Chains A and B, each alone.
Chain A
């Protein structure tokens, strides 16, 4: 077998043939970025390469950086490596990165989910020899119900609150989850208000052509009383804050894969937990791995040791990606904005 296409260094995943890193966590000369979440797109790199669909959001978050873009599927030669970006279905613009060196193909999944959500580009299986996969929810207790069922639950909760004169405040990360929720809401129920962090991202994604319903930025001078029965979308950190109290009587909710666990639901202290994740569940992880045709699997982000052990029993050559923190295998709902 030929030399490794990608290696694991203390700065992140590195391609010696192309002299670049993928989603590195320390400053490097050249970084390929799967998507705009903060634990993947970090400031301080010399040059960036990302999918065209992810570019605006990355610029919104990292400012004036040297960012080059490619279309999904477009091949780019970097040194001795050919790279291309393929939809990961995690958030709008998110990509898997395919790296080919001398006929050997490795794919870095970034974060991903398989089920189409109607907003972001649907995950595309990419055949490869080695697959580096996230496994945030790599335990059999995690399985997601169809999105339309969760959407119906959320809309019923909103309608019920509106009928009783309460606002509905839904906590969701400002990039990705917030827009996915917006696209699921039934605007006939009432007005939709947003936190500033959510509205900034909305503006960028709308300009790119993603279809989002009408929203109103809940600025400090907004007359809350003029918007009875509103749905308010805000980052989870805003729940229970002074900012949230201005909406008067309200029911609070959280939408995340972690809401599958009752302990986490209760710890968050929200009234309702909706099980809606932008990551693959247990079955989806297996489907994704199978469809790559890869025999060599590297796992990262999540219950890595358990998942690798399980994959080994299924006949894969599975290894844990060594990471900065020695053992992120139990990434929790408390860490990372996209661990949701």
Chain B
């Protein structure tokens, strides 16, 4: 673990990308193949199966440190990270050891087969053999969410530096359904001609938000517009007679969406589609909450399949007849996509997302204004001559979203954040007036500056009315403009509605609480924009 702990320290101690990349590249050159593979896995969101619960971790750590559990629980929100809290309270190690990263991970892998008592004994022994940083990393392996300032992109770049391979080619190799238990360094990285497995998706190309006027993009004829759907970005991979469905987060969703099992009946193998998975009423997308009911389900009950069937609104073709065509111009890929899908039956779970014709930017702006009626969030603009790139790159793909809806709401509860925001009140609950009563209707966490969060944190301390565990009820005084992308009915909430992507657009210091919006205002918005 020492080498990995040193790598972590080097990454953690710098805010510069070049320093982090160099440290990671050095590690890839010197670590064992198994450690390298696990490092790649960790930094691309793959981790060993959780062997113990966080509740057990807290209890065992409290016992080992000789502290009551409540004191550990009280310390956790201050630190903001459970893995770190435990590392900080444990007594110094009894028997320092220097096992490799893979050793500890394999221990955790084996642990998931072990009995309860054996698990506890193994974890306590591990803690006794690791120093503070080592314990923190070991705990992180258990609790997951291995975010330590290394993006997948940065990791891939470092790997490219260390191996001399092309970054884009590596990004492709790292996609898909592998774990260090199912592959080797040789197969995944070093083999000269990797036999791409049939399920492997391509790295997604991600658009930037358009903040300037579209006129600045140049001539309208160089661009194509499409609706920006409010669904899940997905890739449908048809190879070797089977199909695979991937989310943007590289999660395999094939079983979640059985509708796509019919696609190989209509289309030949060797094709990969990029598009938006939406719940579909036969003519239009259903609101996002219909799709949401599907997302959590690994197996789908029949009724739900009938109430919220999904389709892929395809807008790009990445592979055709077994050839990677991502370097061809978008206009050509799109033409091949349309030709391929032209003869599909109307009930096929795959349709082209319709292109929007426009002659000038002004006319397109008028079209964009009607997006909510189309159940879209706005428009996508794509440069006709552009290849399909990997990751978020500026220049060829833009999302031109509708201006968000907004209301002014009163903050009534506050809670401390986690991680970087530990010790700061950053998570707020907002309410609207219903007569003389304030009815909570949304939470929001983002949109303010660190300086504003500091100021509000001090305010919360002085204006706490009551505490409910970590949550504080505060004087209903501060008003914030809450921006959001959509509004839906929600019987689960007291307000009867739920917002999509709520965030704090600004702190309305000018507004007294009495002048915040009412529940009736929100209901009017629900009637106008909710489905």
Contacts and interface: CB of A to CB of B under 8 A. Distances in A.
Interface in B153-167: none
Contacts of B464: 326-327
A328 B461 contact: yes
Given A139-B74, A271-B13, A334-B454, A261 B422 contact: yes
A206 interface: no
A124 B356 CA distance: 79
A141 B78 contact: yes
Interface in B47-101: 65, 67-68, 70-72, 74-75, 78-81, 84-85, 88-89
Contacts of B14: 271
B253 to A, nearest CB: 33
A28 interface: no
Contacts of A143: 88
Nearest to A332: B423
Contacts of B421: 263, 267
A262 B74 CA distance: 17
A148 interface: no
Nearest to B418: A263
B457 A263 contact: no
Nearest to B84: A262
Given A262-B81, A263-B79, A313-B68, A306 B462 contact: no
B240 interface: no
A42 interface: no
Contacts of B454: 334
A225 B457 CA distance: 41
Given A263-B420, A263-B422, A269-B15, A330 B85 contact: no
A332 B424 contact: yes
B71 A306 contact: yes
A50 B462 CA distance: 30
Q: What interface size band does chain B fall in?
A: 35 or more
B450 interface: yes
A272 interface: yes
Contacts of A26: none
A335 B458 contact: yes
Given A141-B75, A303-B78, A266 B420 contact: yes
Contact of B461 (A267, A271, A303, A327): A327
B469 to A, nearest CB: 13
Nearest to B463: A326
B435 to A, nearest CB: 30
B450 A267 contact: yes
A249 to B, nearest CB: 11
Interface string A232-261: 000000000000000000000000000011
B75 A263 contact: no
A30 to B, nearest CB: 28
A309 B68 CA distance: 11
B81 A271 contact: no
Given A139-B75, A303-B78, A330-B78, A267 B420 contact: yes
A43 interface: no
Interface string A317-340: 000000001111010111100000
A140 interface: yes
A140 B71 contact: yes
Nearest to B77: A330
Given A263-B79, A328-B461, A140 B422 contact: no
Contacts of B80: 261, 263
A310 interface: yes
A333 B450 CA distance: 13
**CB-CB nearest 5 A-B residue pairs:** A263-B422, A141-B88, A263-B80, A306-B74, A140-B89
Interface of A: 139-143, 260-267, 269, 271-272, 303, 306, 309-310, 313, 325-328, 330, 332-335
Given A139-B74, A303-B78, 20 more contacts: A140-B65, A140-B88, A141-B79, A141-B88, A261-B80, A261-B422, A262-B12, A262-B81, A263-B420, A264-B422, A266-B419, A271-B14, A272-B13, A306-B71, A306-B74, A310-B71, A313-B68, A327-B461, A333-B423, A334-B457
16 contacts: A139-B71, A139-B74, A140-B67, A140-B88, A141-B79, A141-B85, A260-B88, A263-B420, A263-B423, A266-B149, A269-B15, A303-B78, A313-B68, A325-B461, A326-B462, A330-B461
Interface of B: 12-15, 65, 67-68, 70-72, 74-75, 78-81, 84-85, 88-89, 149, 418-424, 450, 454, 457-458, 461-462, 464
